[in-house]
Chain A
Amino acid sequence: MKKSWHSLALTLTLAAYPLCLAQAADLGMEGTTIFRFEQRAFPGFTKSTVVPATQFLGADLDKLGDGNLSLHLYGWGRVDLANRSTAEGPSDGDLSYGYLSYRFPTAKAALKAGRFFVNEGVAAEQIDGVSARATLKKGFALALFAGAPVQLDRDSNNKGNFIAGGRGSYRLNGLLELGVSGLHEANVRVDPASGSRQDRDLVGGDLWFSPERHLELNGHTFYNTATSGLAEHSYLLTLKPQKDFTLSGNYNQNKFKNYFTYSNIHSLFNPDRDGELKSYGGAAAWTGFAPAELSADFKRFSRSSNSNLDSNGNSNRYGAELRLTLLDSKLRSGFAYHRVDGAASFNAYHEVRGFGQYNSGRYVASLDAIGQFYRDSIFNKKEAFEVICSTGYQVLPDLALSGELSYGQNPRLNDDLKGVLRLTFNYLAADKGAKK
């Protein structure tokens, strides 16, 4: 079943590609070639030189056929030019997505077939399959999808073999949107030790509500019907008293038994440990002093568990960021400070970051520095830092060459010197949207 879905999706996509290329009225192509250079030296191990070369390649072919059909492809391949860069083989690759899309002229209706990412209410999945969506009369809308979840490289059993779901919504223009969504995935491995499998069933409700134009509430609640329990609440309240000032508050609650149930790293996200995380916080953003944007945020995390007492406790994360955009956006810079106060059994740290970037259109240069300072030592070190110096040159309107040199020290490495060389090709047949 799984293989047949893979084969069908990939065959459809690949078969359509040359045909579409010949007919493409509106073409977008992008490619990024990245060479990374690293020397790794760990005490007791042989020094190794790592030079992975990675090619990212994508294409968007729009206005095919009657003008409403499009094809979208993206993937990457990597070859190690020296020692191995990962625990996997000396080369690797992946088709990230490849799908045909047909957009109907009315009702925001669209059909998709191939490998693509679904983001509909409770579902955030990459699938090989089909999807359809349309706006209906009287403010209703419907989106459905079905297929096979994309498996991870390491084995062929880390996901289920069939997935389907959808989202229905109702909208009152400018006031309210209510959504109901569901997801069913068959035969998910839930315990690698015993190999036991069960179906994954989630339902969710989501909301956007704006009773007054300065006030918005949005968020969702997910429920695990297989374990009969709440998986997640996540809500955001936004207040905009002035055009340049935004205040927001958020509340989140997750029950691990119901939220982590279907993880394919059981030892890390172990639902059997039970436990719960509640978090709430707030943020303020002010753009009143253009070209400056000032923001501050605070979040409090409360973990509780009956079976894993070491993880219990309250932690806080808070900080502020200042951004400056000058010289008609040619110069962008920022400075941020954040503090994490861990619960009693956790570590704590300060984080400071500053960056500046100048883009003349032809030449680009930037400097980026980040430092973290821990309360308790990690591998006998109390701090980590990294400084990245980047420069680039726009060789042609669609072709840019750039590179970074970075130096850092951290608990694992006394010296961490790395280099990156990047060639970026980004062609759009017409000026539209964002370049990225």
Chain B
Amino acid sequence: MRGAKLFTAFLMVSVTLLLAACSWVAQENGLPSWHPEALGEGRPDCTECHQDQIKGIGKPNGTFKHTTQFIKQHRLYASQDQELCAICHRTSFCNDCHASDLEIKPSVKLGNRPDRELIHRGDYLSLHMIDGKLDPVSCYRCHGRNNNEKCIVCHR
């Protein structure tokens, strides 16, 4: 059993390496590792400088304009184009909210940034009894399998 799993993992990596080495791989340049200019605090609007499609992504810059709604629905964009997110955001930026074991809720860790769209502000311990009945799926996305050490204090 263990050998079979190791073999599966080995096979997957080998196939990928093989693909990378063979002519199937596109020869176009990849995305830059970082946005070449530093960006200030606040929500960026890519279209202020970039008018066209994003090379290597094939989608317009306007698709990724950071409006309130974009931030609330960012999971749909990140699951397709996470390498684009990584041009501006370090992994630790995502990790402030998306981690297996969050020690401090994001709105407290970043309490000096009230302008950030952070979840569970205020007394959410009381509010979660209402929101959880209304939409348990939104709870499950973050706490269903991860980051639920605090949930099990009551929900055993």
A153, B149: Cβ atoms closer than 8 Å: yes
20 A-B residue pairs with Cβ-Cβ distance under 8 Å, sorted by A, are A32-B109, A70-B33, A96-B99, A132-B17, A134-B26, A135-B30, A164-B8, A177-B80, A206-B79, A269-B136, A346-B133, A404-B111, A410-B126, A412-B125, A432-B35, A432-B37, A434-B35, A434-B90, A435-B38, A436-B93
B126, A411: Cβ atoms closer than 8 Å: yes
Partner of B9, one of A86, A164, A220, A293: A164
A134, B16: Cβ atoms closer than 8 Å: yes
Query: Known: A119-B79, A177-B80, A408-B122. Contact between A268 and B155, CB under 8 A?
Result: yes
Cβ of A136 < 8 Å from any Cβ of B?
Answer: yes
Partner of A285, one of B31, B67, B87: B67
Contacts of A411 in B (CB 8 A): 123, 126
Partner of B123, one of A62, A372, A420: A372
Give the Cβ gap from B70 to chain A, nearest Cβ, in Å. Answer: 9
Give the Cβ gap from A433 to chain B, nearest Cβ, in Å. Answer: 4
B67, A348: Cβ atoms closer than 8 Å: no
Contacts of B121 in A (CB 8 A): 353, 368, 370, 386
Cβ of A74 < 8 Å from any Cβ of B?
Answer: yes
B53-93 interface bits toward A, Cβ cutoff 8 Å, 1 = contact, 0 = none: 10010111011010111000101111110110001111111
Tell me the chain A residues, 349-385 only, with Cβ under 8 Å from chain B.
Answer: 349, 353, 355-357, 359, 364, 366-368, 370-372, 374, 378-379, 384-385
Give Cα A288–Cα B95 distance, bound, in whole angstroms. 33
Task: List the B residue with the shortest CB-CB distance to A386.
Answer: B122
User: How many residues of A are counted as interface, with CB atoms below 8 angstroms from the partner's CB atoms?
Assistant: 159
A262-296 interface bits toward B, Cβ cutoff 8 Å, 1 = contact, 0 = none: 11110111000000010100010101000001010
Give Cα A60–Cα B127 distance, bound, in whole angstroms. 37
The interface stretch among A11-19, A39-47, A143-151 is A143-151
A136, B29: Cβ atoms closer than 8 Å: no
B9, A130: Cβ atoms closer than 8 Å: yes
Cβ of A417 < 8 Å from any Cβ of B?
Answer: no
Contacts of A304 in B (CB 8 A): none
Task: List the B residue with the shortest CB-CB distance to A234.
Answer: B76
List of 4 A-B pairs having minimum Cβ-Cβ separation, nearest first: A132-B16, A431-B38, A355-B114, A146-B9
Query: Known: A106-B26, A410-B126, A412-B126. Contact between A259 and B137, CB under 8 A?
Result: yes
Cβ of A124 < 8 Å from any Cβ of B?
Answer: yes
Cβ of A257 < 8 Å from any Cβ of B?
Answer: no
Cβ of A76 < 8 Å from any Cβ of B?
Answer: yes
Query: Known: A218-B76, A434-B93. Contact between A346 and B144, CB under 8 A?
Result: no
A137, B36: Cβ atoms closer than 8 Å: no
Cβ of B13 < 8 Å from any Cβ of A?
Answer: yes
Give the Cβ gap from A413 to chain B, nearest Cβ, in Å. Answer: 8
Task: List the B residue with the shortest CB-CB distance to A121.
Answer: B79
Give the Cβ gap from B66 to chain A, nearest Cβ, in Å. Answer: 11
Give Cα A142–Cα B130 distance, bound, in whole angstroms. 41
A162, B67: Cβ atoms closer than 8 Å: no
Give Cα A280–Cα B73 distance, bound, in whole angstroms. 13
Cβ of A49 < 8 Å from any Cβ of B?
Answer: no
Q: How many cross-chain pairs have Cβ atoms below 8 Å apart between A and B? A: 350
Give the Cβ gap from A335 to chain B, nearest Cβ, in Å. Answer: 12
Give Cα A283–Cα B88 distance, bound, in whole angstroms. 26
Task: List the A residue with the shortest CB-CB distance to B147.
Answer: A152
Give Cα A283–Cα B35 distance, bound, in whole angstroms. 30
A28, B90: Cβ atoms closer than 8 Å: yes
B115, A106: Cβ atoms closer than 8 Å: no
A108, B53: Cβ atoms closer than 8 Å: no
B127, A392: Cβ atoms closer than 8 Å: no
Give Cα A419–Cα B53 distance, bound, in whole angstroms. 46
Partner of A135, one of B28, B47, B95, B135: B28
Tell me the chain B residues, 91-125 only, with Cβ under 8 Å from chain A.
Answer: 91-95, 98-101, 103-104, 108-109, 111-115, 121-123, 125
Contacts of B36 in A (CB 8 A): 432
B42, A342: Cβ atoms closer than 8 Å: no
Task: List the A residue with the shortest CB-CB distance to B75.
Answer: A124
Give Cα A303–Cα B134 distance, bound, in whole angstroms. 8
Partner of A236, one of B59, B76, B109, B152: B76
Give the Cβ gap from B81 to chain A, nearest Cβ, in Å. Answer: 9
Cβ of B12 < 8 Å from any Cβ of A?
Answer: yes
Give the Cβ gap from A339 to chain B, nearest Cβ, in Å. Answer: 12
